[in-house]
Structure 1
Amino acid sequence: MGSDWPLVSLGDYCVKIGSGATPRGGSSVYKEYGEICLIRSQNIYNDGFKSQGLVYIDEDAAKKLKNVVIEKNDILLNITGDSVARVCLAVERYLPARVNQHVAIIRPNPKEFDARYLRYVISSPFMQKVLLNLASAGATRNALTKTMIETLEVSKPPLIIQKNIADCLESLDDKIFLNNETNQTLEQMAQALFKSWFVDFDPVFDNLLASVDFKLESLENRLPDNLKLKAQRRLAVLNSLENAAECKASLIALAHELQAQLPTKEATQAAVQILGKTAETPVKANVSANPKILAQHANTHFPNEFEHNEQLGWIPKGWESKTIDELCKINPESWTKKNAPEVVKYVDLANAKNGSVGEAIEYSFSEAPSRARRILRPHDTIIGVVRPANRSFAYVNEDNLTGSTGFAVVRANNQNCRAFAYFSLTNDDCIQEFTRIADGAAYPAIKPEDVAKTYCVYSNNKILDAFESIAGNIMSGVARNQTQTKTLTKLRDTLLPKLIAGEITINKDI
C-alpha cells in the first residue's frame, strides 16, 4: 500500500539533475530549422511537450552545451518564471536536443525509477503545490534551485508498481493526445474546404476552365491578370490529379450542361461519378495541399464567371458581399440578476483557444466573475475581442455555458450559416485584420461592432446548405472527440493522486 512506500530524496536516485544555458549570442543564433533543438520553457507543459516556438542551434553552439544533452525519457522541469514547475517527458522525435537555463533535466536511475511514473508524481496537484511554494520563497523571481530539486521527497513504490501506474495513466494520455491530433486534422479539413469554396473559388475556376475545354488561351480577353494567374494555378492542380483526364471530362460535360441549361442524363451521371470517386479519397492532414478535396465540389450551384465587387474585389458572378451581422446576431443573450441561474459554467478568454473550449469552471452566479454574462448556445462562434492575436476563439459544442464579456458571441440566423460564420471570422486573414485594427497599446482590443461589420462573400442557400452538411458533420466529429477527451481527462486527474498515494492498486497485467 502507499503508506508502506518510502519517501526518498530525488537526488539520491538520479544520475543527472541540472539546467542548461542560453547559447552565446542569444536569440540571434536561433534557427527556424536544423538538426539540434534548443528546448525552452515555452515548450514544456504538464499535459505534454509543445513544439510551437521550438528553435534550433548549430553544432558549434550545441558543443558548448554538451553537459545538457537530452536523452530519451529525461524529465524536463521549468525552473524559473511564471511557468515554473511545469514538467513533461522529453519526446524522442525532437532529439538530439539541449535545454536553456530556464529548464532542468531530471534523469532518474532506470533501475530505481520509471521516468514516466516520476513525471506523473511531479505533475500531480500535491507536488505542483509543493514546487510552487518552494519557487516563490525567493525575494524576486519564482525559481527552483538544483538543491531544491535534489532534496525533493517523492514516494517510491516498487519498480513494477511504478510501471503499472505509468502504463495506466499513459494509456489515458495517449487517447487524449490522439483525440487532439484527430481534431486538428478534422478542423484543417473543414478550413481547407472553406478556403477552396469561399476564398480561392476553386469550383468556379473549374467550371470556367471547363467552359473553354481547359484551353487557357481562350480566357485571354475574359479575365484580369490576377484571375488569369489563379486560373493557371487551378489548371495545374487539376492536371496533377491521378484521374485528371476523367475529372476534366466530367467537368466539361457539366459545363456543357450548364451552357445548354438542359440537364442531360450523361452529364449528370458523369458529374456524380467524379464527385463520388473523389469524395471517397482519404484526406491527408495537410489538406490545403491535397487537390482532391478541392476538385470534388464543382457542380451546378457554382457559376463559371467572375465580377468585381466594391468591398471584396473579384468574386463569383451573382455572389455578393455581406457583413456578418446580416447573417448572424451579435451577443444575442446575456444574464442579468433577474434571469441568471443559480450556477454557471464559465468560459473565459484563456479557456478558448484555436477553435476549442477547455474545461469550464463552475461558479454560483453570485460568486462568478463579473464578466460571466454571455449566454452561449451550441454552434455559437465566440471571438475574443481583447488581444485578438492570442486567437481566443472557439466553436461552441456544449450546452449550458456562460462566456466572458470579453467575447463577441456570434449566432447564425440560419442553420446553414453556422460553420460558414465560424470559418469566415477565424481564418488567418480575418484574425490578422482584427489584430491590425485593435486599439490600445497596453490593452489592444476590438469592438463587437468590428466583428459585426466584417465582410464575407455570400453565395446562395444551396451552396451554404452543402457546406454546412460537410463542415457541420466535421465539427460534430470534433465535438464528440472533445466530449470524450474531457471525460478521459477527468478520469486521469482523478486517478493520478489516488494511484500515486497507493489508494488504488492496479493489477500488473493492466
Structure 2
Amino acid sequence: MSFDCPIVKLGDYCTKIGSGATPKGGNSVYLDHGEISLIRSQNIYNEGFKSEGLVYITPEAAQKLKNVIIEPNDVLINITGDSVARVCLAPNEFLPARVNQHVAILRVDPEEFDHRYLRYFLTSTKMQNYLLTIASTGGTRNALTKSMLESLEVSKPSLDVQKRIGNVLENFESKIELNSRTNQTLEQMAQAIFKSWFVDFDPVKAKMNGEQPEGMDAATASLFPEKLVETDMGEIPEGWQLVPVGKLLSKTIGGDWGKEEPDAKHTEEVRIVRGTDIPKLHGGAIESVPVRYVEAKKLKTRKLERGDIVIEVSGGSKDQPTGRSLFISDNILKRLELPSEPASFCRRFQPVNYEVGLLLAVHFQLMYKAGKTWEYQNQSTGISNFQTTYFLEAEHVMVPSQEVLDAFVKQVSPMMDMIHSNQNIELAKLRDTLLPKLLSGEIELDTNER
C-alpha cells in the first residue's frame, strides 16, 4: 500500500540553493594539498562523492567564495555540462570546502526534510530523467538554473518515513563501501606479497641470514632459493630469471570498435572494454562498458579469455599516463556477460598461461601505481600513446621457479576472485530496485526496518 504524501516545491523547504564561481587566478589558486577543498563537478557522482581530482584553494580564494561554504548534510548537485544532474552528499571528511560555478548546494530544513531522502529522491531514475530533460531546454549546453531547482516538485512523506527510507538505503551503501574497502585491502595485500617475494626478495634474504621468512610457513619457505647471484641486471635469487614482458606473452593484438548496430559484416554482439572502463570494471561496475557489433573473424583473435590482460595504450594526458590494465578473471568474464574485446585504444595481452598472467597483472598494477608507465609514453598532438613495442622489450619481470609461482598463485588468486566478485553489483541492483518502491510507498517499512 502506497503512502499519501504531499508534492511540494523544493525551494520552499531549502534554507539555501546556490552555486559558486571559478576562483580568480585560474589554476594558480589550486593546490594539491591544503585546508580548504574546492568541490567540482568531476567529484560528484550519484554513487557518491569521488575524491579523485579533488583540489584545494588558498584562504584568499576561499574568502571570495564565502557564500558557498559547504555544511555537513548539504546535498550537492551538478548544474552544467555533461555531468548535469549528478547528486551526492557533502563529504564530511573533506570539509571545510567550497563549490565552483558548476555545482549547487541544496540545504534543506532538517525539521522538514531528511537530507539522505532528498539525495535518494533526486538520484531515482524518474527524477534523473526529468532533470536531464529540463536541463537540455533553452540553451546549447545542459544547465539547471536556480529557478528550476526552486520550483522542482518533490514528494514529501513524513519526516519519520523519510528517515526510515534513508536508513535502509544508507545501510546498502555502507555495505557496498565496506566491500570496496575490503577489496582495496586485498589488492594491497596481493601487491605487498609480490613486492616482498619478487622485488625485495625478503624470503631469500631471510634464509641467507638463517632466519625463517616472516609470516611464511616452513613448506612455502622451502621453495625459495637460499642465495642471490650476480647478473647484468643486478642480484637475483638463484635459479630465477628476469624476462622481458614480450617473452611471457603468446599473443598481443590491438583492439576493435565495431559498429553500434549490426549489419551483414558486423554480426557478433560483444562488450568493448575501453581504458575508461578499466577502473570501473575492476571496482565492480559494468554499465559503462558499451555493447557493439564486430566481425566474427576479428572476435576470434581478440576475444578476451581467462588470464588475459587488457592494457590501455592510447588516450593519456599530461596528468594521467596510459598503461592502466585489467586482469581478466573468471568473475570479470561473468560480469561482462557477453563475449568481449578490448577497444581500439587498448590491446589484448595473452600470457603464456594463467599463472604468468596473474604475475604480470600484479606487476603492471605496481608499475602503474609507482608512475613507471610514464617511461613508456610517446606524447603526440596532446594525446599520450603507449610505446608497446619498446615496453615489451624493455620492461622485465622477475620469473621464479614454477613451485614459487604456484605458491604465489595459490595465495593471490583467491584475493583476485574476491576483488572481482559481483557482490557489490548485486547489492547495487537490489538497492536500485528498492529505491523507487520505497519512494512510492509500494514497500512499507515497519519500525524495525526489515
Q: TM-score range by the shorter chain?
A: 0.7 to 0.9
Tell me by how many angstroms 1:75 deviates: 0.3
Secondary structure of the 1:15 match is: strand
Tell me by how many angstroms 1:304 deviates: 2.3
User: 1:350-403: CA deviations, max 9, x gaps?
Assistant: 322174462267998759999977422334322122325356422223235413
Q: Please say if 1:66 is aligned against 2:81.
A: no
The match for 1:441 is 381
Q: How does 1:154-233 map to 2 (within 5 A)?
A: 154-208=154-208, 210=209
The match for 2:341 is 403
Given that 1:186 and 1:474 are in contact with CA atoms closer than 8 Å, whether structure 2 keeps it comes out as: yes
Secondary structure of the 2:422 match is: helix
- Change in CA separation of 1:35 and 1:151 when aligned onto 2, cut-off 3 Å: same
Given that 1:345 and 1:363 are in contact with CA atoms closer than 8 Å, whether structure 2 keeps it comes out as: yes
Given that 1:353 and 1:391 are in contact with CA atoms closer than 8 Å, whether structure 2 keeps it comes out as: no
- Change in CA separation of 1:4 and 1:342 when aligned onto 2, cut-off 3 Å: farther
- Structure 2: gaps spanning 5 or more residues: none
Tell me by how many angstroms 1:99 deviates: 1.5
Q: Which has the higher helix share?
A: 1
Distance in 1 of aligned mates of 2:138 and 2:176: 36
Distance in 2 of aligned mates of 1:121 and 1:390: 38
Distance in 2 of aligned mates of 1:89 and 1:362: 26
- Change in CA separation of 1:444 and 1:372 when aligned onto 2, cut-off 3 Å: farther
- Which amino acid in the other structure matches residue 419 of structure 2? V
Tell me by how many angstroms 1:300 deviates: 5.4
- Change in CA separation of 1:372 and 1:503 when aligned onto 2, cut-off 3 Å: farther
Q: How does 1:13-32 map to 2 (within 5 A)?
A: 13-32=13-32
Distance in 2 of aligned mates of 1:162 and 1:304: 66
- Change in CA separation of 1:136 and 1:198 when aligned onto 2, cut-off 3 Å: same
CA RMSD after TM alignment: 3.6
- Change in CA separation of 1:370 and 1:348 when aligned onto 2, cut-off 3 Å: farther
- Structure 1: gaps spanning 5 or more residues: 211-249, 252-270, 281-295
Secondary structure of the 1:352 match is: helix
The match for 1:78 is 78
- Which amino acid in the other structure matches residue 437 of structure 1? Q
Secondary structure of the 2:303 match is: strand
The match for 2:5 is 5
Q: How does 1:224-373 map to 2 (within 5 A)?
A: 250-251=210-211, 271=212, 275=214, 278=215, 301-309=224-232, 312-330=233-251, 344=270, 347-353=273-279, 355-356=282-283, 358-359=285-286
Tell me by how many angstroms 1:416 deviates: 2.9
User: 1:73-128: CA deviations, max 9, x gaps?
Assistant: 10011112222211100122222222122211101111211110100111112222
Q: Please say if 1:41 is aligned against 2:41.
A: yes
Query: What number of residue pairs does the alignment pair up?
Result: 428
Distance in 2 of aligned mates of 1:97 and 1:416: 47
Q: TM-score, normalised by structure 2?
A: 0.82
Given that 1:30 and 1:55 are in contact with CA atoms closer than 8 Å, whether structure 2 keeps it comes out as: yes
Identity of aligned residues (%): 43
The match for 1:500 is 439
Q: TM-score, normalised by structure 1?
A: 0.73
The answer to which of 29-38 and 105-114 deviates more is: 29-38
Q: Please say if 1:55 is aligned against 2:55.
A: yes
- Change in CA separation of 1:3 and 1:349 when aligned onto 2, cut-off 3 Å: farther
- Change in CA separation of 1:364 and 1:320 when aligned onto 2, cut-off 3 Å: closer
- Which amino acid in the other structure matches residue 164 of structure 1? R
The match for 1:387 is 315
- Change in CA separation of 1:279 and 1:497 when aligned onto 2, cut-off 3 Å: farther
- Which amino acid in the other structure matches residue 358 of structure 1? A
- Change in CA separation of 1:390 and 1:182 when aligned onto 2, cut-off 3 Å: farther
